Structure 1
Amino acid sequence: MAEIETYIVNPGTAEIDICARWRAETFSVLEASVEKERRTLNRFAADQARQVALIAKRGTVPVGTCLLVPSEIEPNHQVSPWLAGLFVAPEHRRHGAGAVLVRAIEAQARVRGFAQIFLYTISAAPFYQRLGWDLVEHTDWKGFGRTAFMSRTIKVMSP
């Protein structure tokens, strides 16, 4: 079985279409159609200074996506940057793709000079804790009820 590798998603690529479909179908909080999410991701991917979209592939097969974003949608905490939108296709779950994507986003944050990264999760706190993330507190984010606010300190790369 091929290793899982991550790639930066660039504007106008087939990967944008795949990620847009996954995001529109999975994240109801976005309230977006596939076309709207495609436009949003194209704009997002065009500016990679403080943000990045990644896609994970096993060989040539797309298996998941994740974002590093400067701000979360209506955050309860004014911090930056955020790991957001982690998604692994159901048929590829529990085979390491999520962990690969999280580590890749951490590396992207590190390259951009960030020493800490944050996320919200409703149900995956134990997953992130296994990857070294710390639970900061529980909050009620966007009316979703008990949501974990988590952080991870990352070692910044020396210039």
Structure 2
Amino acid sequence: DRPAGPKDMAAKVSLEAAVDADRRRTDPGAGRIKPVDDRNNPDDVPGPRVRQQTLDLVSVLRDVGGVGGGGGADYLLLTEDDATMCEGHLAGIGRRMAAAAAVDPMWTMLRTSIGFIGIVMHRADSNALANFLEMHYQRKPPDILLIEWVAGNWEGGVRAHG
């Protein structure tokens, strides 16, 4: 056996998309909350649009995290539908994955951009992240929740017990 190289790592990434409308989760409190000005929101309280985006992300994570989800890939690449990758981006991600695995085979997540654009994670962690986001989607936007989840500063945090 040889160590996985960048091309091997990039080939293991699953590119998934879209929320199945039949299984889409909706915010039961959406009609009762006030819209929020996301540009003037010092407390980072998510408004109806951000809350629904978080629940859409929960649906995608659950879809790809299930048995056979993600095309059987070991890793997921999360991005947004309006994001465009530059030439060589996947190969670069593969190199970063190989470097991370050389330092710690149990690395949690790689970020190549801001928010939820360009996040590589283990597919096995997708249900745990989905559960955390669903538990806290009313409290903070998903990019802030992601930081909390990776830090593991909550009961059940990513790899908190090992």
TM range (shorter): under 0.3
Q: Quick check: which one's strand share is greater? A: 1
Q: 1 or 2 for the larger relative contact order (CA 8 Å, sep ≥6)?
A: 2
The structure with the largest alpha-carbon Rg is: 2
Q: Which has the higher helix share?
A: 2
TM-score of the superposition, structure 2-length normalised?
0.24
